[in-house]
């Protein structure tokens, strides 16, 4: 099953591989839940390691479940929604640790980004005004939509209700990642 992403068309297995990737540099390596890292983690990593391992475990379970699950679903890209959800949660966890709670050092934060524990592009957007609740990068890329605009999940819920015929919106989920609405004003 193929899914469209901002970088081309990928299968669900290749999306999971992008989320759980292995660096190719050969240096001193550490191993955590299937990931191989080329440098020793900075101090404080042991505090967040268990939670990050849980996210990796969820991605691996999703990979084994998707191999067993039926390929018939209501939408062709629903299996990819789970991958987007887990990677979003993992990135939000690291973002909150550094920017909101100030619980990790800048050195650890950069190490986590460099070793692909979090999506650096998504975090960069979260720091900008109006994108605090952004669900995924494809939702703001104008090339990903039919009409050359952003995804409908970026439209505030109040605007959708105001512009609907009977006051009830028909929008349920984003076609890219399954988001039910990520406008900053919601």
pLDDT at 185 over 90: no
Band of residue 2 on the pLDDT scale cut at 50, 70, 90: low
The confidence score (pLDDT) of residue 53 equals 97
pLDDT band at 21 (very low <50, low <70, confident <90, very high): very low
When pLDDT is cut at 50, 70 and 90, the band that residue 27 belongs to is very low
Q: Please check the confidence at residue 149 and state whether its pLDDT lies above 60.
A: yes
The confidence score (pLDDT) of residue 176 equals: 86
Work out the average pLDDT over 59-78: 72
Least confident of 117-121, 133-137, 170-174: 170-174
pLDDT of the residue at 101? 97
Confidence of residue 24 (pLDDT cuts 50, 70, 90): very low
What is the rounded average pLDDT for all residues in the chain? 82
The model carries a pTM of 0.76
- Percent of the chain exceeding pLDDT 90 equals 48
pLDDT at 56: 96
Q: What HEC string does the chain produce?
A: CEEEECCEEEEHHHHHHHHCCCCCCCCCCEEECCEEECCCCCCCHHHHHHHHHHHHHHHHHHHHHHHHCCCCCCCCCHHHHHHHHHHHHHHHHHHHHHHHCCCCCHHHHHHHHHCCCCCHHHHHHHCCCCCCCCCCHHHCCHHHCCCCCCCHHHCCHHHHHHHCCCCCCCCCCCCCCCCCCCCCCC
């Amino acid at each position: 099953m193929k899914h469209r992403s901002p970088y081309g068309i990928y299968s669900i297995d290749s999306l999971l591989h992008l989320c759980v990737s292995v660096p190719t540099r050969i240096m001193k390596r550490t191993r955590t839940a299937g990931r191989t890292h080329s440098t020793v983690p900075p101090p404080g990593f042991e505090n967040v390691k268990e939670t990050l391992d849980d996210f990796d475990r969820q991605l691996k379970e999703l990979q084994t479940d998707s191999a067993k699950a039926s390929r018939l679903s209501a939408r062709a890209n629903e299996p990819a929604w789970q991958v987007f959800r887990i990677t979003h949660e993992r990135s939000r966890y690291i973002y909150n640790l550094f920017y909101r709670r100030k619980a990790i050092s800048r050195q650890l934060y950069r190490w986590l980004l460099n070793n692909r524990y979090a999506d650096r592009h998504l975090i960069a957007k979260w720091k900008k005004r109006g994108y605090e609740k952004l669900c995924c990068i494809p939702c703001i890329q104008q090339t990903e939509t039919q009409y050359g605009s952003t995804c409908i999940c970026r439209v505030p819920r109040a605007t959708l209700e105001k512009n609907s015929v009977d006051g009830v919106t028909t929008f349920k989920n984003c076609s890219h990642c399954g988001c039910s609405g990520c406008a900053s004003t919601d």
